[in-house]
Amino acid sequence: MVTEKELFNALAERHGVEIQKKFANSCVGIAGLGGLGSNIAVYLTRLGIGKLILVDFDNVDITNINRQNYVLSDIGRPKTTALYEHLIKINPYLNYQLHQVKITSENAVSLFSGCDIICEAFDKPDQKAMLIQTLLSTLKDVKIVSGNGMAGFNTANLIKTTNPIKNLYICGDGQSDISDGLGLMSPRVAVCASHQATMIMRLLLNENNV
Amino acid sequence: MKIKVNGEFLTDFSGNISELLQKQNLSADRVAVEYNGEILSRENFNNIFLKDGDVVEIVHFVGGG
């Protein structure tokens, strides 16, 4: 078994010691553990983010396998615990906080208070809007990194990161909508997830520009 | 009256935030709106009437994740 010190040192060797210390002392919340959130959780685990708050009410479905970080034996299990078991194989020494609950305007603040950054990774647009309105109007210092538009098979080059509203970073093409009949496909969803994880990483290192 | 919406000036509009969203064909339950640097709750979309010099940023969300 790799020890905590060995793993930290290996991450620090790749990332830099000061950077690794910052990551280790950071807390990121992920709202929704689907195509975006499950992939983002893997990237943040590989970075060695000290505390991850992972929230999703749902169970793994067979239709998630095309793009979400689950395997066939996860089907029917809560996404929180299924994902947790994958993440601890990458890094068992991080602090993972799991909540199998539906996020609402009533519980969002208490779920995510204490996070440096909150990652919005829902799939329904009204839920995205609800979460962002609730958190940004209540938690004045928090930054939100949100996914918006990654459906279909248009070029990945349309997916970008913007900062249109104070403390709100948006990743996506801003247009492609599953309600227009577009499917969600692994590579393009992962590009959006990578944009979000990259912006989270930059914000943790006090790089606030997109 | 001149207001700035997503970086572009609008001169032919008067009304509240809800009416601005309607004019732009945007659904009120799918947007985040920043009004003069402050994020708005949806309950305030009807109460805030735009005035000269206001700056509004609207993010419209699409489905998928």
| A164 close to A133: Cβ distance less than 8 angstroms | no
Question: Is residue A180, in this structure, part of any structural domain at all?
Answer: yes
Q: Which pLDDT belongs to residue B22?
A: 97
Q: Which pLDDT belongs to residue A192?
A: 98
Q: Which pLDDT belongs to residue B24?
A: 95
Q: In which domain, by residue range, is A46 found? A: 4-204
- pLDDT mean over A77-96: 98
CA dist list (Å): A20 to A12, A26, A50: 5, 10, 10
Instruction: Report the domain count for chain A.
Output: 1
Which residue in chain B is spatially nearest to A127 when comparing CA positions?
Answer: B30
In 3D, which of B16, B20, B35 has the Cα closest to residue A133?
A: B35
Query: A140 pLDDT exceeds 90?
Result: no
Q: Does the predicted TM-score (pTM) go above 0.95?
A: yes
> Tens digit of pLDDT for each residue in A1-46?
999 999 999 999 999 999 999 999 999 999 999 999 999 999 999 9
- pLDDT mean over A61-65: 98
Which residues in chain A have their CB less than 8 angstroms from residue B59's CB?
132, 148, 164-165, 168, 170
Backbone angles phi, psi at B46, to 5 degrees: -80, -25
In 3D, which of B44, B42, B36 has the Cα closest to residue A105?
A: B42
Query: A183 pLDDT exceeds 90?
Result: yes
Which residues in chain B have their CB less than 8 angstroms from residue A126's CB?
29-30, 61
Question: Is residue A97, in this structure, part of any structural domain at all?
Answer: yes
Cβ neighbours around A112 below 10 Å, total: 27
Query: B59 pLDDT exceeds 90?
Result: yes
Q: Which pLDDT belongs to residue A35?
A: 98
Question: Is residue A184, in this structure, part of any structural domain at all?
Answer: yes
Q: Do B63 and A124 touch (CB under 8 A)?
A: yes
Question: Is residue A65, in this structure, part of any structural domain at all?
Answer: yes
| CB contact residues (below 8 A), chain A span 185-204, against chain B | 189
Cβ neighbours around B58 below 10 Å, total: 18
Give the Cα separation of B62 and B65 in Å (integer).
10
B19 at interface of A, judged by CB pairs closer than 8 A: no
CATH number at residue A107: 3.40.50.720
> Tens digit of pLDDT for each residue in A111-137?
999 999 999 999 999 999 999 999 999
| A189 close to A36: Cβ distance less than 8 angstroms | yes
Mean pLDDT over all residues of chain B?
A: 96
